[in-house]
Amino acid sequence: MKLLTALLLTLTCLLTSNVTAADAPNVLMLVTQADQMTSGKPTGLWLEEYAVPYNLFIAEGFKVTTATLNGGKVPIDARSKPNDQQKAEWKDAIKQLQYTRVLNQVDLKKFDAIVIPGGHGVMFDLADSKQATKAIETFVKQDKLIAAICHGPAALVNVKTPKGKPLVHNRDVTGFSDSEEAAVKLTDDMPFLLESKLRELGGKVTTSSNFQPHAVQSGNLITGQNPASSHAVGQLVVKALK
C-alpha cells in the first residue's frame, strides 16, 4: 500500500511539473546585430537591456528564445560591458548571445510576447528591417505582448496595426530621449532621433530625467526609456504574462 501511495504521489508530481512547464509563457527576445553606425562608430546591443529582463524571465520559469536577423553571435556595445559582479549574474544571458536563432526560422505562433532590447545598434538594422517589422506585426495581429527598451522602440517605427496606423499612434510610449542622445553626443550619428520620431508617428511620449528609470504600458505595448528602465520593463512583462 505504501509503495502504491508513493508511486501515485510521484506520478502526480511529474504530471504537475509537466503542466507547469507546458503552461510557462514563451518569450522571444529580438536583438540587434549591427556593430557599426553609418558614421563608422562602433555600436551593438546594450547588454543590461538584454541580461536584466532575461534573468527576470528565467527566474519566473518563462521559456526564452533569442533571435537576430542573421543568427549567431551578438555584438555588445563596449560601453555596456559588465563588471565582475555582473559577469557572474549575467553569465547565462551572455552565453545565449553567442548562439542566437535566425528570426525568419522561428515559429512566431508559439510565443506569448516579443521583447526588443536596445543599444544604438537597433537604429541601424531592426528599425529598417522589413523582416523585423513583419515579425512584430505578427504579434500585433494576434494581440500579443510587445515590449521594447531604450533604442528598442526604434524597431517599432515602421510597424502598423491591421488598420494601417502606426503601432505607437495614440499610445503611451517612451524611448531614449532626444536629451539623452545629446548627452551621449550621438545626435549627429543617428538616422533619426527616436523621441522625435515616436512623436511624429502620433505616440503620446513621456520621458523622465536623463538616465532615470521610466517605463510605461499602453495595453499590450510596454516601453522603457533607457538602460536604467530594463528592470521596470521586465517586471511589467512578467506581470502582464502572469
pLDDT tens for each residue of the chain, 242 residues long: 444 444 444 444 444 443 356 689 999 999 999 999 999 999 999 999 999 999 999 999 999 999 999 999 999 999 999 999 999 999 999 999 999 999 999 999 999 999 999 999 999 999 999 999 999 999 999 999 999 999 999 999 999 999 999 999 999 999 999 999 999 999 999 999 999 999 999 999 999 999 999 999 999 999 999 999 999 999 999 999 99
Euclidean distance between CA atoms 97 and 196, whole angstroms: 30
Residue 126: name the closest of 49, 69, 181 by CA.
Answer: 69
Task: State the fold for domain 25-241.
Answer: Rossmann fold (3.40.50)
Pairing relationship of beta strands 145-149 and 172-173 according to DSSP bridges: unpaired
Map out the domains of the chain as residue ranges: 25-241
Give the distance, in angstroms, between the CA of residue 221 and the centroid of all CA atoms in the same chain. 11
Euclidean distance between CA atoms 155 and 151, whole angstroms: 8
Cell 538616465 found at = 211
pTM (two decimals): 0.91
